[in-house]
Every structure is written in structure tokens, then in C-alpha cells.
Amino acid sequence: MPTPVPSKTSIIGIAVRLELNSKDGLRQVIFTLSKDTLPNAVVKWKIGFQLFEKEQKTDPAFIKLIDLTVDVSTQNEAKAAALEQAKQLSAKAAAHALGTAADLAAAGATDPTLIDVAKEAAEETLAQD
């Protein structure tokens, strides 16, 4: 019987999806942090920031306002890695995501000139932890 050869295990990608809901039930943010390892072993982090809202709490479903994809800057990579390990946002970061970042994302949904500002605010969620 042949002797088994140790194999190599590589994690190519991983994602953490966090669903945040406002206390009033009118706003929802899906904050997704994904990590991809490129063939040259370079790690790239991305944030998916989806904003949903309802007019009234009794409405049956949320309406998607905007879906942002943000490349995480080098300065926030360590914070992204920490969030990957924690698998949850701090109360301060969640409040930022549902507040400032969501407000700017909603503004970006109606004014395309604000998309970059909305993306920056989404990434700033990492800095809140």
C-alpha cells in the first residue's frame, strides 16, 4: 500500500455576511466582507453594502435601494481581517453602517455623484471597530 503524501490546503476565498436591522424596522443593511487570495498570494478584501428600506414597518418586504461594492484600502486590511475573525460588528460599527453609511448610500442611490462618498462611508464601518 502506498504511503500517503501530505497534501496542501489553501483557502482561496471566504466571506462573512452580516444582516443589520434598524430598531424601527424600516432599514436593513447587508454588510458582506469577502477575502480573495489571488494566484500570486496577494489578499484582496471587498465590502458588499446593500441598503434596503420600507415605508412602513407593516410593509411585507424591504425594497433594495442600492448595492455597493467597495475595494478595501490597504490601511483597513488589518481591520477587515479582525472583522473576519470576530464575525460581528461592534455596536458602534453597526450604528455607523445603519446610520451615516446607510444615509450616504441612500443619497447615492438618487445622486450618482455621491456614490464614491457612499463607498467611503461603507468602508469607514471597518474603522469603527
Give DSSP secondary structure letters for 43-92. EEEEEEEEEEE-SSTTSSS-EEEEEEEEEPPGGGHHHHHHHHHH-S--HH
Residue 98 belongs to a domain: yes
Structural domains of the chain, count: 1
Q: How far apart are CA 7 and CA 36, in angstroms?
A: 21
What is the structure's pLDDT at 5? 63
- Average the pLDDT over 60-81 and give the result: 95
The yes-or-no verdict on residue 10 having pLDDT over 80 is no
Residue 6 belongs to a domain: no
Residue 104 belongs to a domain: yes
Q: pTM of the predicted model, to two decimals?
A: 0.88
Q: How far apart are CA 54 and CA 67, in angstroms?
A: 16
Residue ranges making up the domain that contains 51: 13-127
Amino acid at 73: S
- Average the pLDDT over 36-42 and give the result: 82
Q: Tell me the pLDDT band of 8, cut-offs 50, 70 and 90.
A: low
